[in-house]
Amino acid sequence: MSYAVKNLVQEGRELIAFRIGDQEFCVNIMSVREIRGWTPATPMPHAPAYMMGVINLRGAVLPIIDLSARLGMKEAEPTARHVIIVAQVKTKIVGLLVEAVSDILTITDDNIQPVPEVSSELEKQYARGILAIDKRMICMIDLDALFAEKESEAA
Amino acid sequence: MKKKVLTVDDSRTIRNMLLVTLNNAGFETIQAEDGIEGLEVLEGCNPDVIVTDINMPRLDGFGFIEGVRRNEKYRAVPILVLTTESDAEKKNRARQAGATGWIVKPFDPAKLIDAIERVTA
Amino acid sequence: MDMNEIKEIFFQECEEQLAELESGLLKLNDGDRDPETVNAVFRAVHSIKGGAGAFGLDDLVAFAHVFETTLDCVRSNKLEPNHDVLKVMLKSADVLADLVSASRDGGSVDESRTRGLVKELEALAKGELPAGGHEAPKAAPAAPAPKAEAPAPTDDSGFQPIPFTFEGFGDDEEPAIEGATYEITFKPRRELYAKGNEAALLLRDLSRLGEMSINCDMEALPALDKMDPEASYFAWKISLKTTKSEDDIRAVFEFAEWDCELEVKVAEENTSDEELPMTPVPFDLSILDDSAAPAEEEKAAAPAEDPAANAVAAAETATGVAKAVARAAERKEAAAPATPAAAAAAAPQTIRVDLDRVDRLINLVGELVINQAMLSQSVIENDNTGTSSINMGLEELQQLTREIQDSVMAIRAQPVKPVFQRMSRIVREVADMVGKQIRLVTEGENTEVDKTVIDKLAEPLTHMIRNAVDHGIESPEKREAAGKNPEGTIKLSAKHRSGRILIELQDDGAGINRERVRQKAIDNDLIAADANLSDDEIDNLIFMPGFSTADKISDISGRGVGMDVVKRSIQALGGRISISSRPGFGSTFTMSLPLTLAVLDGMVVTVAGQTLVVPLTAIVETLQPETSAIHSFGATQRLISIRNSFCPLVDVGRVLNYRATQANPVEGVALLVESEGGGQRALMVDAIQGQRQVVIKSLEANYTNVPGIAAATILGDGRVALILDVDAVVAASRGQSLKPEMSFAATG
């Protein structure tokens, strides 16, 4: 159910694209450790709504974040078909719950378009660019920026 | 045939330096951490030359040298004293105890080897 | 192994020597006059100096040398190690430690302090020595090395050329033919051979200085049956043509000069080689050859025509007799069963292991424990026949796993000594700064606890010690006025108690000023002005966030860090801290910490559908509440009566926000827990699943510290379960919020 992605050849910039609802997002493949299936998480007390709880990842305690809720969309109702993207955010490893991984993209910088002006604060915080691929729109997420706030919350 | 050197020093740093120096020069090196262990190890290892520190816990270098010299088998083994003590009094005591020669620390690897070769055939 | 690795070893060793030094000095300060204590102290400094010299750490060598010289005066009873002397020495030990750190990490040291101490040490060394006879300690070790040596070569072992003080070995350069001719008379005494010197080897070395001819005088040689194999019968007259100086020639005999008659003089003009008759002697070069050092092979294969070699061989035959005796004895020994192993049976042996390797092992064992638990669980779930062999095998596996785990944990157990020792320096420095006289007494330094706990203990302990010196102990004047010893005492002790380590920090100072603490708490809105608090509760207010009794933030315990930070770091270790104080007699801080951060014995419980682990050490007893024992108290509080006393009920599910309303106590189980700061609470859970040793997993590694939760673990089903922080839950029930940023409101 889980497969490692770290051995993929890196040419240009490689991104992993995934789906949440009817939207597509992507993150830099370099920050992704592995992708695995959903397993029930142990809820954490006093945690924000997007914090689904923690799971056991080969002996380490891995927090699972409902990326949909974190991005201000509706809370996910995880099923066995959901996947967890295990990613490195700064010094920590987190699991990001998404609906499905859709693609591995190789792009160059000129594929990236700037984030439109209309965006709200939340989008400005995490969105690093927009990709147009096969008439799809994919939003590029900066995980470090997205979770920058998390640490100050915890302090 | 490799020559066998027994080194007796309580400092891990110096022990390691001796080990590297002696091994690089093609000696077989046996190490002890103080005089007591030196005497214990002596029996089993039959060294061609002994290099010992003076200031050591349990049994110091003087006592160790005397112990070696009391042993029928080893009373003719050359013993070099490796110590930071450079004053005449300490040298004299080492000599009285039966030391063959001495090397003043900090030692230079080349000179250590020279000194060993000088007292061994 | 390369030079950097050896240097790393050196710095590790320095740490050990510094600890040894300090503990020795403290013993002396307490009146210990055991010569071995003085020796150990001396050796520590001496050893640091020795290693530092090898690495060219000149500042370190220079200071260690001065220190060592003064210590030598103590060692030779020229200087009485009284308190004043030891004060200087303890400070010197601190400076030495700073110099070591600076050498390792490249930082800088307070040079004026170092210079000041050098002066003080020198004064001590001088002051007690007979006038005139003593040479002032030099700033660097004496470096006689008068001979012109070729620059030390860098060999392939990675050694750098280093400053070198070596007296007297001549070098192997080919001597020029021009130069003076020396006449050397050399008559060894029997002692020369007794010390392992060989006339033959000396002559060999001498022959390397130039052109040499030797005349062996065997007049004294008696008939074979009269011969004493130990005696020396030969004398040599040597003529040496060399460019070297007389000193160089004498240097060859350096090791031997006390055990021989040696005369070196420049030869008369008309003296020539021919006038020194040669005595032909048979020789056996093989003695020299067979044991020649590898690097020596070329030189050892000396041409037989060399006139000097003949005489060298003659000397060999003389000493050969003594050697033959020794070798015969050797052979006899060799024939007997070899017993080298006997040497290994001494003292407990230790090895040094990289901590990463131990940690890797511990992690793996942790996985093993979890796997074993998972296996047991699935066997139990699938096995309805109760096949006894499987069950027995599982039980054995469980037993073994547990034993492996205990053994692995024991590897990490270390005595608290190093941390305690660090504290004595802090006491000294802070006491000096604030002008107080304070003695630190330590007890139970050899109590062992996991290295991680030790490492994390240093910081809170340092802070508490600073506090005790700065605020706890009064000034000498105040103490005297109060009829106390002007010298205050701080006692730091460690002991094991019921599977935890108990660390106590006790001062004999003024104790907590409760009126002031209370006022401060009111001023800071920490408690209501009319709050009714027990003495204990007032004392424990100092652990509240943002609480500081110091009127002005001092340099020592200030920096805006309060006891709340100490408390938090102790709690982060799974520990508890409390204070008890007696006005006028001092305060005692008590810390109870887990022995390891890797495993704990826990009770697995269910709360609102979630599985939680409650540390067993916190639980006093478990009970099934009956309706008659439950009493409502005020609007929301409920008490449970246990043997005629009332104990507040705490619904864990509510505190952790697992449910919106309190559960019915009668439907659950109460865990009676003892919390830090005394006081019992009954924690309500829904059901008990059982007791289990669990592997502690950090939540903070990938997530964050969660109020009310100490850590996490992984249970047999592979899911994560949270470990309850009992103290935090109890504190929350007292009205303290689990959210650290929310302010405290005292319960009335």
Q: Where are the domains of chain A?
A: 3-154
| CATH architecture, domain defined by A3-154 | Beta Barrel (2.40)
Q: Which of C125-134, C138-147, C385-394, C510-519 has the lowest mean pLDDT?
A: C138-147
CB contact under 8 Å between B118 and C205, yes or no, is yes
- CA C420 to mean position of chain CA atoms: 11
CA–CA min distance B13, chain C (Å):
5
Per-residue pLDDT for C611 more than 60?
A: yes
For residue C344, the 8-state DSSP code is G
CA–CA min distance C589, chain B (Å):
38
Domain region containing B76? 4-119
pLDDT of residue C294: 42
pLDDT interval class at C193 (50, 70, 90): confident
CB contact under 8 Å between C719 and A55, yes or no, is yes
CA–CA min distance B99, chain C (Å):
6
Please indicate whether chains B and A are in contact, defined as at least 3 beta carbon pairs under 8 Å: no
> C671 is written with which tokens?
């865990």
Mean pLDDT of C736-741: 43
Q: Give me the residue from B44, B69, B75 closest to C340, CB to CB.
A: B44
Give chain A's radius of gyration (CA, Å): 15
Is some CB atom of chain C closer than 8 A to the CB atom of B120?
yes
Is some CB atom of chain C closer than 8 A to the CB atom of B28?
no
Cis-peptide, bond into residue C594, ω within 30° of zero: no
> Is the pTM here over 0.90, yes or no?
no
CA–CA min distance B40, chain C (Å):
5
CB contact under 8 Å between C699 and A54, yes or no, is yes
CB contact under 8 Å between B105 and C50, yes or no, is yes
Is C316 or C657 the better-scoring residue by pLDDT?
C657
Q: Give me the residue from B26, B72, B84 closest to C49, CB to CB.
A: B84
Which residues in chain B have their CB less than 8 angstroms from residue C5's CB?
16
The residues facing A64 across adjacent strands are: A53, A95
CB contact under 8 Å between A44 and C703, yes or no, is yes
**C residues 42-81 lying closer than 8 A (beta carbon) to B:** 42-43, 46-47, 49-51, 53-54, 56
Q: pLDDT tens digits for C460-474?
A: 898 899 888 888 898
Q: Give CA–CA dist A96/A140, Å, rounded.
A: 15
Q: Give me the residue from A45, A53, A63 closest to C702, CB to CB.
A: A63
Q: Which of A135-139, C47-51, C197-201 has the lowest mean pLDDT?
A: C197-201
Concatenated DSSP letters of C495-515:
EEETTEEEEEEEE-S----HH
A55 in Cβ contact with A62 (< 8 Å):
yes
Q: Give me the residue from A43, A56, A63 closest to C703, CB to CB.
A: A63
ipTM of the complex: 0.84
Residue C463: strand, helix, or coil: helix
Please indicate whether chains B and C are in contact, defined as at least 3 beta carbon pairs under 8 Å: yes
The residues facing C252 across adjacent strands are: none
CB contact under 8 Å between C712 and A61, yes or no, is yes
Is C113 or C309 the better-scoring residue by pLDDT?
C113
The residues facing C621 across adjacent strands are: C672
CB contact under 8 Å between C42 and B55, yes or no, is yes
CB contact under 8 Å between C705 and A154, yes or no, is yes
Is C239 or C137 the better-scoring residue by pLDDT?
C239
Give the containing element (helix H, strand E) for C90. Answer: helix C83-105
Mean pLDDT of C248-269: 74
Helices (H), C195-296: 199-207, 246-252, 286-290
CA–CA min distance B118, chain C (Å):
7
Is some CB atom of chain C closer than 8 A to the CB atom of A92?
yes
Residue C146: what residue type? P
Per-residue pLDDT for C165 more than 70?
A: no
Which residues in chain A have their CB less than 8 angstroms from residue C722's CB?
42, 44-45
> C62 is written with which tokens?
């220079």
> C219 is written with which tokens?
């007049």
CB contact under 8 Å between C720 and A93, yes or no, is no
Q: State the Cα torsion C406-C411-C413-C414 to the nearest 10°.
A: 160
Q: Which phi and psi angles does C690 have, rounded to 5°?
A: 150, 180
C669 in Cβ contact with C660 (< 8 Å):
no
Number of folded domains that form chain B: 1
CA–CA min distance B108, chain C (Å):
6
C281 in Cβ contact with C310 (< 8 Å):
yes
CB pairs under 8 A between A and C: 73
Is some CB atom of chain B closer than 8 A to the CB atom of C201?
yes
| Residue recorded with tokens 């959901």 | A82
Per-residue pLDDT for C522 more than 80?
A: yes
Q: Give me the residue from B3, B43, B77 closest to C340, CB to CB.
A: B43
B54 in Cβ contact with B61 (< 8 Å):
yes
Per-residue pLDDT for C161 more than 70?
A: no
Is C339 or C231 the better-scoring residue by pLDDT?
C231
* Mean model confidence pLDDT for chain C: 75
Give the domain CATH number at B93.
3.40.50.2300
User: How many other CB atoms are there within 10 angstroms of residue C228's CB atom?
Assistant: 11
Is A129 exposed, middle or buried, given 0-12, 13-18 or 19+ CB atoms closer than 10 A? middle
Is some CB atom of chain B closer than 8 A to the CB atom of C560?
no
> C57 is written with which tokens?
């750490």
Give helix then strand counts, H and E, for chain A.
Answer: 4, 12
Residue B120: what residue type? T
Q: Give CA–CA dist C309/C214, Å, rounded.
A: 9
CB contact under 8 Å between C329 and B73, yes or no, is yes
Residue C546: strand, helix, or coil: coil
**Which regions of chain B are under pLDDT 70?**
83-87, 121
CA–CA min distance B83, chain C (Å):
8
For residue C738, the 8-state DSSP code is S
Is some CB atom of chain C closer than 8 A to the CB atom of A56?
yes
Nearest CA in chain B to C290: B1
Residue A147: strand, helix, or coil: coil
Residues belonging to chain C with any Cβ–Cβ distance to chain A shorter than 8 Å: 363, 366-367, 370, 610-611, 656-658, 697-699, 701-709, 712, 714, 718-722, 738-739
Per-residue pLDDT for C102 more than 50?
A: yes
